[in-house]
Structure 1
Amino acid sequence: MTQTERDKMLAGKLYDASDKELKNQRLEARRKLMAFNAEQDEKKRSSMLKDWFGTTGEHIFMETGFVCDYGNNIHVGENFYANFNQTFLDVCEIRIGDNAMIGPNCQLLTPLHPLDAKERIAGLEYGKPITIGDNVWLASGVTILPGVTLGDNVVVGAGSVVTKSFGDNVVLAGNPARIIKQLDLPKV
């Protein structure tokens, strides 16, 4: 069975980003982004996300200023909140658990480009998924890089760049982000 470029993309393999099917899906996402970002009614915006994202909880909220590649590769849990100016580049899945709070100007970035210049010039790219657990708070300006998994009850300080995965109950900060505090939390 031949894999489509989309299949390769979602599997984290090298794929041709100029593929016609992918281009059309990105164009459709741009139309949805324009409508979402122009919508002032927060209930309508939430409904738009529920119809667009791969999966969502019932209670989700996102401010305007949102950018993504496709949208349907984004999965958010219950009680999801994202402030202004989010960039979720979803060439691979982005999965966010319940009770997530995302401050303004955050970036969740799944795409990667080959180190080999010939592959890069040819338009090939690949990605790695991002997984974020329950009860996570990303403060303003956080960047999560491809392949990162964050456990439950993680807090990431403003302006941090998360380059590797971390487990549960930690506070991260810095560039690259590192653990600055362990949290002793009861189960929520």
Structure 2
Amino acid sequence: MKKQFILWCQSVLKRLLGLDEQHVIKKLKEKGLTVGDNFIMQQGCIIDGSHCFHITIGNDVCLAPNVHILAHDASTWWFLEHTRIMNTTIGNRVFIGTGSIIMPGVTLGNDVIIGAGSVVTKDVPDNCIYAGNPARFLSSTNEYITREKAKMNSENTFDEKFYIDRASSADLALIKKMAAKHGTAYLR
């Protein structure tokens, strides 16, 4: 109960200060950011506020915490007194892992996964997984999903009642045990 109250207070405070993700996206849209349906932006993400009208984000996109999406490069300012501006595009059904940076001018295709901590400096084609610094091709998304699906079974697959804010300590212990036994667990 105390934990839920603290989370509620944090949520209210963020909204009042204009720091919650929904408020940030609303303000960026007013400045020209294009965002499709079912867009999820987790805490700490930065979408280039001064050049957001150069950024297009498709449908079914998730930004994990602390992702940065850029549309400008100010490294030229001291030398040219101009900043480079480039269009940055994120396709449909894209997941961008925690702490990743999408550099200005990059296009991510559809059905793309970007691994955590990646720095994406070049375009990523459809149906690809890229990771690293600089990000490089690892696998097709279809191959990865097929491998992961083969690992799923009734012991290591869990539904929403197992979310940390809903699960009992016994439920959490079970997920941990199954992840250890199978090398991974899956949560809806």
The 1:182/1:163 distance shift into structure 2, 3 A limit, reads same
Partner of 1:151: 109
Partner of 2:130: 172
User: In 1, Cα distance between the equivalents of 2:133 and 2:75?
Assistant: 23
Q: Which amino acid aligns with 2:37?
A: E
Partner of 1:104: 65
Counterparts of residues 1-188 of structure 1 (less than 5 Å): 35-37=17-19, 46=22, 48=23, 51-54=26-29, 72-90=31-49, 91=51, 92-113=53-74, 115=76, 117-120=78-81, 124-184=82-142
Q: Which amino acid aligns with 1:36?
A: G
Tell me the TM-score normalised to structure 1 length. 0.60
* 1:130 shift after superposition: 0.7
Higher helix content, 1 or 2: 2
Q: Which amino acid aligns with 1:131?
A: T
* 1:157 shift after superposition: 0.3
Structure number with greater Rg is 2
The 1:83/1:51 distance shift into structure 2, 3 A limit, reads closer
Q: Secondary structure at the match of 1:184?
A: helix
Preserved contact between residue 76 and residue 83 of structure 2 (Cα < 8 Å): no
The 1:127/1:80 distance shift into structure 2, 3 A limit, reads same
Say how many residue pairs are matched: 128
User: In 2, Cα distance between the equivalents of 1:177 and 1:150?
Assistant: 12
* 1:89 shift after superposition: 1.0
Unaligned runs of 5+ in 2: 1-14, 146-188
Q: Which amino acid aligns with 1:86?
A: C
Q: Which has the higher contact order (CA 8 A, sep 6+)?
A: 1
User: In 2, Cα distance between the equivalents of 1:137 and 1:129?
Assistant: 19
Can you list the C-alpha shifts for 1:53-95, whole angstroms capped at 9, x where unaligned?
A: 43xxxxxxxxxxxxxxxx6132111010011001111415111
Can you list the C-alpha shifts for 1:97-124, whole angstroms capped at 9, x where unaligned?
A: 001011001100111136474424xxx2
